Amino acid sequence: MNAPGGSGQGGFQGGSPGRSSSPLRIAIVGGGLSGLAAAHRLVEIAAEQNRRFEITLFESQSRLGGLVGTESIAGYQIDLGGDSFITDKPAALNLCLRLGLKDSLIGMSKNFRGAYILRGKKLCLVPEGVNLMTPSKALPILTTSLLSVPGKLRMLGERFVPPRQDESDESLEAFVVRRFGREAFDRLVQPLVSGIYTADPSKLSIQAALPRFPADEKQYGSLIRAATVRALQKRGSPQQQATGARYGLFLGLKGGMQELVDWLLSRIVGQISLRLSTEVTRVEHKTQNEKAAHQSEVVLHTKGRRPETFDTVILALPAWKSAEVLATDQASLSQELSRIEFASSAIVVTGHQESQIKKPLGAFGLVIPRVERRKILAVSFSHRKFPDRVPPGCALLRTFVGGALQPELCELDDQQLQKLVHQELQEILGVEGEPVVSRIVRYPRAMPQFHLGHRELVARIRGQLSLTPRIVLAGNSYDGVGIPDTIASGEQAAERIANFDIKTESPQR
């Protein structure tokens, strides 16, 4: 299915006459997934509520989509960022359905399941029933070769560990070691979570990144007990098809995730003004008359263009970039935003003949514990997830490098990075010879780090934003890093902006 329309410059979105005599002038800064979701939701609201908006979207690059994109090279369909999304957070699935993408949604192959974890030279399947850290079944833990006998007994003894009474923030590492033991953390949980957050687990806030686990501890006294209760509740449900690692209940798109970007663009092109290759350098909250709040406005300064004035702005940018554009006018807010740290990463995508890979690949991917001291974080076996994305008899590997624990590897040039990955894949998977295709994707300062105190930091940021309601933040820096989180953030920002009352400078009731 091909999206109608194109990626060219859009025009003015007028809409039908609405509540006020003049349309609300809205700027969206950032054309990644959250910015596109915000623009699309505003177009939807204009139609649903008979509203009038003038929407302008600014993007510093020549393409839209941010970290999401798909390329076709020599018969290989390559997702440059995320290749799928989880459905137990509904925003991404709901958006796809509203866009008419139901027939494009595809599940992962049923011929494989879960993920491998490396132990020495052996690829060990994640024990069935493990959801990131919590085992819902005892037998797979008892029979896994990932853990020693003492490690298995310590992990299964979690139900006898008393719940923590202190509700202060706790790191992922401290939480897991306390509940499941050091070995379960090092060999099982750390690599699985690293495959999502590329973070330092001694700094990653469990309350900010994975809040349901401390919530389960508080409610049930034990994570295993909570998992047992849920398993009984879900028995016989289609949701029970979830597998052991982070690969259960995931969906992709036939055309890759670029299809989502293309369809979002098809719905907004002609309805909004698109400014590609236009970098916003400063956002100014300007009050013309201190005695009349409704006379304030937002001024956007861009490279090579005259300043433009808007009623409101959505900053759909990484927190560090929002901090930069707000530094002059909102110094205190900018300082708080700059406290959110980011990690860089790179993906080395390689296509091979399956005969070049000597180890059998019977899962969707591989994650690597830090204690193995390897130079790659994880490998996604794209041809196992989505077999139709490669030529017959071929394999597509997406190898992840860098992150918070190995930032220096992102400084390697392309040739050095390819050589490093080739050597690692040769030693771990038995990959022989040169790849048929190769593509390197770099994401500098792209992954927000939800460090200890992140929730309190975000609360302070939102407290300061309440003083300047014409400015709204969106993106993956605040509440979640996945595709559904990013989409939800953009849509929530759009709804907040749509309810903005110019006269009172507050959301309409």
Cβ within 8 Å of residue 21, ≥6 positions away? none
Residues 315 and 265 grouped into a single domain:
yes
How many angstroms separate the CA atoms of 282 and 328, rounded?
Answer: 7
Average pLDDT over residues 323-350: 97
Residues 186 and 227 grouped into a single domain:
yes
Beta strand 70-73 with 280-287: parallel, antiparallel or unpaired?
Answer: unpaired
Indicate whether 310 belongs to any domain.
Answer: yes
pLDDT at residue 88, as a whole number: 87
What b/e readout covers 435-452, taking b as 16+ CB neighbours within 10 angstroms?
bbbbbbbebeebbbbbbb
pLDDT at residue 253, as a whole number: 96
How many angstroms separate the CA atoms of 115 and 195, rounded?
Answer: 11
Q: Where are the alpha helices (DSSP H) in 75-171?
A: 91-98, 138-143, 149-156
Residues 101 and 163 grouped into a single domain:
no
Model confidence at 199: pLDDT above 90? yes
Question: Residue 318: which CATH number?
Answer: 3.50.50.60
pLDDT at residue 235, as a whole number: 67
Model confidence at 317: pLDDT above 80? yes
pLDDT at residue 247, as a whole number: 32
Indicate whether 16 belongs to any domain.
Answer: no
pLDDT at residue 240, as a whole number: 44
pLDDT at residue 377, as a whole number: 97
Average pLDDT over residues 106-123: 92
Indicate whether 146 belongs to any domain.
Answer: yes
Q: Which helix (H) or strand (E) holds 180?
A: helix 172-180
Residues 495 and 414 grouped into a single domain:
no
Average pLDDT over residues 42-48: 97
pLDDT digits (tens, 9 = 90+) for 97-109: 999 999 999 999 8
Place of tokens 């953390």: 185
Indicate whether 269 belongs to any domain.
Answer: yes
Residues 328 and 471 grouped into a single domain:
yes
Residues 457 and 331 grouped into a single domain:
yes
pLDDT digits (tens, 9 = 90+) for 393-417: 999 999 999 999 999 999 999 999 9
Indicate whether 421 belongs to any domain.
Answer: yes
Indicate whether 240 belongs to any domain.
Answer: no
pLDDT at residue 59, as a whole number: 98
Residue 9: closest CA among 273, 261, 229: 273
How many angstroms separate the CA atoms of 163 and 170, rounded?
Answer: 13
- Average per-residue pLDDT in the chain? 90
Question: Residue 203: which CATH number?
Answer: 1.10.3110.10
Question: Residue 402: which CATH number?
Answer: 3.90.660.20
pTM listed for this prediction: 0.90
Residues 423 and 475 grouped into a single domain:
no
Residue 127, amino acid: P
Instruction: Tally the domains of the chain.
Output: 3
Residues 460 and 318 grouped into a single domain:
yes
Residues 33 and 102 grouped into a single domain:
no
Indicate whether 10 belongs to any domain.
Answer: no
Query: What are the DSSP calls for 482-498, one per residue?
Result: SHHHHHHHHHHHHHHHH
Place of tokens 């490098």: 401
Residues 336 and 455 grouped into a single domain:
yes
Residues 466 and 440 grouped into a single domain:
no
SS3 256: coil
pLDDT digits (tens, 9 = 90+) for 155-179: 999 999 999 998 899 999 999 999 9
Cβ within 8 Å of residue 397, ≥6 positions away? 349, 350, 351, 352, 379, 380, 381, 382, 425, 429, 431
Residues 228 and 371 grouped into a single domain:
no
Q: Which helix (H) or strand (E) holds 320?
A: helix 319-326
pLDDT digits (tens, 9 = 90+) for 122-163: 999 999 989 899 998 999 999 999 999 999 999 999 999 999
Indicate whether 11 belongs to any domain.
Answer: no
Q: Which domain holds residue 40?
A: 24-65+257-340+451-499
